[in-house]
Amino acid sequence: MLETRRKSRTLSAELADTLIQRIRNQEYAPGTKLPKEMDIMEEFGVSRTVVREAISHLQAAGMAETRHGIGTFALLPEDTGLFRVHPDQLGTLRDTIALLELRIGLETEAAALAAMRRTEENLDKMRIALTAFAEAIEAGQNAVQADFQFHTEIALATQNSHFIQFMSLLGERVIPRSRLSPDEDPAPTRKAYLHRVHQEHESIFNAIQNQDVEAARAATRTHLSNSRERLRMGEINAR
């Protein structure tokens, strides 16, 4: 029994090292969801216990966090010296609004650059994210993943790795409603809110597609400013 426990700890440590290396190599970009337990078990031929112990290693190293009912997400370690947003920094409505103010400053310019530099492939991926957002609304989901993906695709369309890294460091938690259950059926007012967000995304996309730099900048500023004001008015629950 003791030998079995030792073997399990060795396997979990080796698996943790592999997962950490993948995070550092951006195979699992910070802020993105790690593969499901079953997928990791199948890829590495290990037990569920080994996978869970490995994930615990990652959490202890500051390389992952698990959100109940959502999944486990890759993180950068605390000692990298790079900018990152810790979950504790989004604990209040004021914190969330402060982060939106930062996004307004950076993402409006990202949209402008995306309008200048986007490729057809970039546009295709934005369309996929928009479609996923619409489908999530109709399915009664919160559309967080599609929302974050749309903003990430804009960052990718800048062809500037710093904007891409910024979005990766923020991760899905940058979307205020990410701390709500993804399976929660939205109330009518919440569904109407998501439809408005979708329309704002469409406006940003159209400006980028038309390579209208000023319109892309304005549409993004409007979208993020509206999100900030909706939070201030208590229209969505950011807790």
Q: Return the percentage of the chain with pLDDT > 70, whole number.
A: 80
95 pLDDT higher than 80 = no
According to CATH, the superfamily of the domain at 87-232 is: GntR ligand-binding domain-like (1.20.120.530)
Residue 90 is predicted with a pLDDT of 55
Domain boundaries, the chain: 2-77, 87-232
Residue 87 is predicted with a pLDDT of 52
CA distances for 180 relative to 92, 142, 225, 236, angstroms? 14, 8, 21, 10
Residue 4 is predicted with a pLDDT of 42
Please write down the HEC assignment for all residues of 17-83.
Answer: HHHHHHHHCCCCCCCCECCCHHHHHHHHCCCHHHHHHHHHHHHHCCCEEEECCCEEEECCCHHHCCC
- Start-to-end CA distance of the chain, whole Å, equals 45
Residue spans of alpha helices (H) in the chain: 2-24, 37-44, 48-60, 93-117, 120-138, 144-157, 161-170, 188-209, 213-232
Q: Which residue has tokens 């629950």?
A: 237
For residues 38-67, give the mean pLDDT.
Answer: 87
CATH class in words for 2-77: mainly alpha
Residue 94 is predicted with a pLDDT of 78
What are 70's two structure tokens? 């959502």
219 pLDDT higher than 70 = yes
> Whole-angstrom Cα distance, residue 131 to residue 125?
10
What's the pLDDT band for 22 if we cut at 50, 70, 90?
Answer: confident
Average pLDDT, the chain: 81
